[in-house]
Structure 1
Amino acid sequence: MLCAVITDDNLKKIEEANQLADLIELRIDLFKKPTLKKIQKLRQACRVPVIFKGGERFLSCQPDYVDLPYESDPALFEKCRGIKRICSFHECEKAPEKLDFIFNRPAEIYKVATMARSSIDVLKMLLFVKEQKKPVIGICMGELGTATRILAPVVGSPFTYAPIDKSEQCAPGQLTLQELAQTYRYRELDRETELYALIGNPVHKSPSHLVHNIAFGEFGLNAVYVKMQVTPEELPAFLPLARKVGFRGFSVTMPLKEQVIPLLNKIHDDVGAINTVLFKRKKGHGWNTDGRGALDAIERVENVRGKRMVLLGAGGVAKGIGGEAKKRGAQLIILNRNLSRARDLAEELGGEAANMADFPVVAEQGYDILVNCTPTLPIDPDDLLENRLVMDVISNPRETPLLFAAKEKGCRTVSGYKMFILQAVEQYEHWFNIQG
Structure 2
Amino acid sequence: MICITVAPTSRTLAKVDILNACRYADVVELALDHLIKEPDVKDLITGFDKPIIVSCRRKQDGGQFEGSEQERMGLLRQAIVAGPAYIELDLDIAPKIPRFGKTQRVISFTRMDQPESDIDSIFDEAANAHADVVKFTWPTPTLDDAWPLLVAVSQKRRLPIVGMGLGRADLTFSLLGEKYGSPWIYAALERGLEAFPGQATVFELDETYACREIDKSTVFIAIAGFGEAQTITTRILNAAFKQIGVNVRCLPIELGDVKMLKKMLDVLKIKAILVSEGNGQRLMPLAEHIDKHDAQSEYIDLLLRRDDGWHGYNTLWRSGLRALETAVSGDAKRGLDRQNVLVLGNGGMAQSMVYGVTQRKGLVSICGPKDKESQKIAATNECRFIPFAQLYDTLADVVVIADRHVVCGQNQGNVNPSLFRPNHTVLDVSDPPKEHALFTEARERGCKTVEPQSVYVDQLNAQFKAITGRDLPPEAFVKGLAE
After TM superposition, the score normalised by the length of structure 2 is 0.81
| Displacement after TM superposition at 1:73 (Å) | 4.2
Displacement of 1:312 in angstroms is 1.1
With over 3 angstroms needed to count, the CA separation of the structure-2 counterparts of 1:91 and 1:49, relative to structure 1, is same
CA contact (8 A) 2:401 2:439 kept: no
Q: Do 2:140 and 2:166's aligned partners in 1 also have CA atoms closer than 8 Å? A: yes
> In structure 1, how many angstroms separate the alpha carbons of the residues matched to 2:166 and 2:372?
42
Structure 2 Cα separation of the partners of residues 131 and 318 of structure 1:
42
Residue 113 of structure 1 aligns with which residue?
137
Which residue in 1 is equivalent to 2:481?
none
- Is 1:407–2:443 an aligned residue pair? yes
User: CA-to-partner distance for each residue in 1:399-430, whole Å, 9 max, x for gaps?
Assistant: 43212221232112233343233211111122
Matched, 1:308 2:340: yes
Q: Which residue of 1 aligns with 2:390?
A: 358
Q: Return the letter of the residue paired with 2:30.
A: L
Offset of residue 22 of structure 1: 0.9
Is residue 2:430 matched to residue 1:394?
yes
Structure 2 counterpart of 1:5: 5
Q: Determine the structure 2 residue equivalent to 1:267.
A: 290
The farther-off stretch of 66-75 and 333-342 is 333-342
**Equivalence for 1:147:** 172
Q: Distance in 2 between matches of 1:117 and 1:167?
A: 20
Which residue pairs with 1:91 in the alignment? Answer: 111
Distance 1:129 1:416 in 2: 40
Cα distance, 1:400–1:354 mapped onto 2, change above 3 Å: same
- Is the deviation greater in 286-295 or in 96-105? 96-105
Deviation (angstroms), 1:223: 2.5
- Whole-Å Cα distance in 2 between the matches of residues 350 and 73 of structure 1? 67
8 A contact 1:14–1:45 mirrored in 2: no
Structure 2 equivalent of residue 246 of structure 1: 269
Out of 225, 228, 252, the residue aligned to residue 250 of structure 2 is 225
Report runs of 4+ in structure 1 exceeding 6 Å deviation: none
Q: For 1:44, give the aligned amino acid.
A: T
- Which stretch shows the higher mean deviation, 165-174 or 389-398? 389-398
CA RMSD, 1 decimal: 2.5
- Aligned residue for 2:23, secondary structure, equals helix
Q: Which amino acid aligns with 2:261?
A: F
Cα distance, 1:290 vs structure 2: 0.9
Equivalent position to 1:430, from 440, 463, 466: 466
Question: Which consecutive unaligned segments of at least 5 residues does structure 2 have?
Answer: 57-75, 330-334, 408-413, 473-483
The match for 1:41 is 43
Contact kept? 1:50, 1:64, Cα under 8 Å: yes
Q: Deviations over 1:340-375 (max 9, x none)?
A: 544543455453322232222212xxx221111112
The one of 36, 48, 53 equivalent to 1:32 is: 36
Q: 1:145 Cα shift?
A: 3.2
Structure 1: unaligned runs, 5 residues or longer: none
Task: Kindly report which structure 2 residues correspond to 1:316-331, keeping only aligned pairs within 5 A, or say none.
Answer: 316-331=348-363
Distance 1:332 1:51, change over 3 A: same
Aligned residue number for residue 16 of structure 1: 20
Aligned to 1:380: 416
Distance in structure 2 (CA, Å) of the matches to 1:283 and 1:172: 37
The answer to whether structure 1 residue 281 and structure 2 residue 304 are counterparts is no
Q: Is the Cα–Cα contact under 8 Å of residues 127 and 245 in structure 1 kept in the other structure?
A: no
Equivalent residue of 1:89, what SS? strand
> How big is the shift at 1:314?
4.6
Which of 164-173 and 285-294 deviates more? 164-173
Deviation at 1:153, TM superposition (A): 0.5
For residues 320 and 44 of structure 1, the distance between their equivalents in structure 2, rounded to whole angstroms, comes to 61
| Residue identity matched to 1:301 | A
CA 347–59 in structure 1, closer or farther in 2 if over 3 Å, else same: closer
* Amino acid in the other structure paired with 1:357: A
**CA spacing shift, 1:80–1:403, aligned 2, 3 Å:** same
Whose strand fraction is larger, Structure 1's or Structure 2's? Answer: 1
**CA distance, structure 2, for counterparts of residue 13 and residue 141 of structure 1:** 23
1-structure distance, mates of 2:27, 2:470: 37
Q: Is the 8 A contact 1:203 1:227 kept in 2?
A: no
Match of 1:188 among 213, 221, 228: 213
Query: Does the aligned pair in 1 maintain the 2:134–2:161 contact within 8 Å?
Result: yes
Distance 1:86 1:302 in 2: 63
Shift of the alpha carbon at 1:167?
2.3
Which moves more between the two structures, 10-19 or 283-292? 10-19
Residue correspondence of structure 1 range 164-179 to structure 2 within 5 A: 164-179=189-204
Deviates more, 1:397-406 or 1:87-96: 397-406
Which whole-Å CA distance do the structure 1 matches of 2:196 and 2:360 have between them? 51
> Given residue 41 of structure 1, which amino acid in structure 2 is its aligned partner?
D
Give the counterpart of 1:51 among 45, 50, 53: 53
Deviation larger for 18-27 or 406-415: 406-415
Partner AA of 1:287 in structure 2: Y
One-letter code of the match for 1:361?
Answer: D
TM-score, structure 1 length as denominator? 0.89
Alpha-carbon distance in structure 2 between the residues aligned to 1:143 and 1:24:
21
Deviation at 1:70, TM superposition (A): 0.8
Name the % identity. Answer: 22
Contact between 1:56 and 1:66, CA under 8 Å: does it hold in 2? Answer: no
Paired residue total: 427
Aligned residue type for 1:3: C
